[in-house]
Chain A
Amino acid sequence: MQLVAEFLKNVSFCQDLNEAARSKLAELLISKKISAGAVIFREFDDSDCLYIVRSGRIIISKHVQDQVDIVLTRFHTGDFFGEMGLFDTSPRSATAQTETDSVLLRLDRKAFQQIFSDEPEIAARICYRLVTVFIERLRATNDQAREAIRWGLEATGFSLAPEHSLFGRRST
């Protein structure tokens, strides 16, 4: 448990927590080994927990068509994902799958709610950090959306370049 608490130092949403708070949080985490290629959760699955990557690499993707997904991002050691599941009961918005053999730490929504009721100060510190990460991820998503639109525009010959002036002759 001490090792997990020590590891949490590297996790962004735990950076404002002191040692005692990290130890308390570590007690609530469930460790899970997953082999490469395994699906952690699928898009539209029920969501009720957050995952922290203890080791390995996770790939997050969203279904496009048939067997093809678009890769949204990758998570590495110290990153976390599935945070929407802590606050929201809506289905998962993307699929998470291991790219390599990985170890994950799971924080259930119930456990998180317990922190809120028992240790509101710790919960507030975690939430503050989570919001910062949400903002970063939202910005990244915006960039990706813009790229995808540009990709589509280029593919169909559209260009956002200034309008081409048409040929013509005005006799004066």
Chain B
Amino acid sequence: MADPAKLELLNRSSNAGGFEIVQIDSLHAYSAYKPSRLSECDWEVTAQPKSADGTRQFVLRNLREDSYVLLNTREYFLWGYFDGRHSLEEIGRAFHLAFGAFDYLLIRQLLTKLYGCGLLEAKRLLDFQLNRGAMPDSHWGSRLRWKVMRWRAMSLRVPHADRLCSLIYRRGGFLLFHPITFWLSVGGAGCALVLALRFEQNASSFAYFLKARPWLMSGVMLATLISASILHVLVHALACKAHGRRVRELGFFLLHGVVPTFYADVTDIFMSSRRARITVDLAGPMVEVVLGSIAVLSAQAVSAALGQALLFGIGLALWESALLNLYPFNFLEMDGYNILADLTAMPMLRQQALAMIPHLYERLLNFKTLARAEWLQLGYLALCLISVTVYVIVHIDGLRTLIQLS
């Protein structure tokens, strides 16, 4: 809790000249405040599966603004009391009875979160509205943080993404999610894999043809990977539609402010089951698997050596892309990470693991007190570090060559 703003009130009595001074601080005003949530038709809540530590989280959706917040069990308990009839003091007491302790900081952070999501009826205060998008104070740290935040929030979006996805889904997109399509894909991938193993003996001649035409090879590969990426996110979005949920956005952005990539915002799938979420996560990489398989199978049908080499190369690149996408331990929130987060029922696993880093040393000193969820976060961190280190070691020769060339 911040330092209370000490204010004094002079309360006049009916006697001439009589008065009483009452000292108040923000905490008192705060305690008497009765937060009021939106009416029930303006929000929906879905319980998530139990996480590794046995707790349950809840996703709360604002239907008016189409925004979402993740609540833990304690926050969900508080949300139940934000009905405009209970003061924070009463809520605090109820919380104490239910959980054995209470800290006003928790309620304050929750209120900030809920106001940010527009889930509480906001009071117009001092006749001004907070401009949350405005530039912060002149302190360089705040400005830098603000700029990083804006940089990360930058994206190019397709207008009316949900309407577009619904249309594509109705006009044939639904066929992608038919069981026959799935088994055909698996069968095709199996055949392509067997074929790829047989092609292994031609690897050196394929490499020779591809090396001979580097520009053609790079151009075709780049175009294929970009097209596959677009299809990949579109299929994520269609999978979301297959479960009757809304696609909030389709577009292009910098993942974690660094990696340029296409994306589909499928947050609404959290209002559905875990199985639905994993289906949506897997649908994207299946595009690369299927396209890669088609490329490898086509390589068999093509007679020209260059065409065969190119198709085989594309097939392998697409499969590799699918594997990279499904690998969860690389600090990036890609499909594999999302599946891991869904399986562990820890949708904020990466953020929680990263938040653990500053306290890692002291937590490791007291490792006996680590909760199960913390072990998972620690495991995620360790595997990410190992993966990144191995990746660097494997590619060190390539890096050396690059440095020498420059």
Contact residues in A for B112 (Cβ distance below 8 Å): 157-159, 161, 164
A67: CB under 8 A from chain B? Answer: yes
Which stretch in B123-131, B194-202, B297-305, B307-315 binds the other chain? B123-131
Contact A157 B33 (CB under 8 A): yes
Contact B19 A171 (CB under 8 A): no
Contact B10 A59 (CB under 8 A): yes
Contact of A172 among B68, B70, B233, B280 (CB under 8 A): B233
Contact residues in B for A163 (Cβ distance below 8 Å): 116, 132, 149
CA distance A120 to B69 in the complex (A): 68
Q: Mark B14-50, 1 if CB is under 8 A from A, else 0.
A: 0011110100011001100101000000000000000
B289 to chain A, nearest CB (A): 16
Contact residues in A for B263 (Cβ distance below 8 Å): 170-172
Contact A169 B338 (CB under 8 A): yes
Contact residues in A for B322 (Cβ distance below 8 Å): none
A62 to chain B, nearest CB (A): 9
Contact B126 A149 (CB under 8 A): yes
B97 to chain A, nearest CB (A): 23
Contact of B8 among A39, A70, A149 (CB under 8 A): A70
CA distance A148 to B311 in the complex (A): 70
B73: CB under 8 A from chain A? Answer: no
CA distance A71 to B117 in the complex (A): 36
Can you list 13 A-B pairs, Cβ within 8 angstroms, ordered by A? A67-B11, A68-B9, A69-B10, A70-B7, A70-B9, A153-B125, A166-B69, A167-B270, A171-B236, A171-B266, A171-B280, A171-B284, A172-B335
| A151-B26, A167-B347, A171-B338 given; 6 more Cβ-contact pairs under 8 Å | A150-B5, A158-B125, A166-B116, A169-B266, A170-B265, A170-B266
Mark B residues whose CB is within 8 Å of A.
Answer: 2, 5-13, 16-19, 21, 25-26, 29-30, 33, 35, 59, 67-70, 108, 111-117, 120, 122-123, 125-126, 130, 132, 136, 145, 149, 232-233, 236-237, 248-249, 253, 255, 261-267, 269-270, 280-281, 284, 325, 333-335, 338, 347
Mark A residues whose CB is within 8 Å of B.
Answer: 36-39, 59, 61, 64, 67-71, 97, 147-164, 166-172
Closest 10 CB pairs of A and B: A37-B17, A71-B8, A157-B111, A151-B5, A155-B29, A69-B10, A171-B236, A147-B5, A67-B12, A170-B263
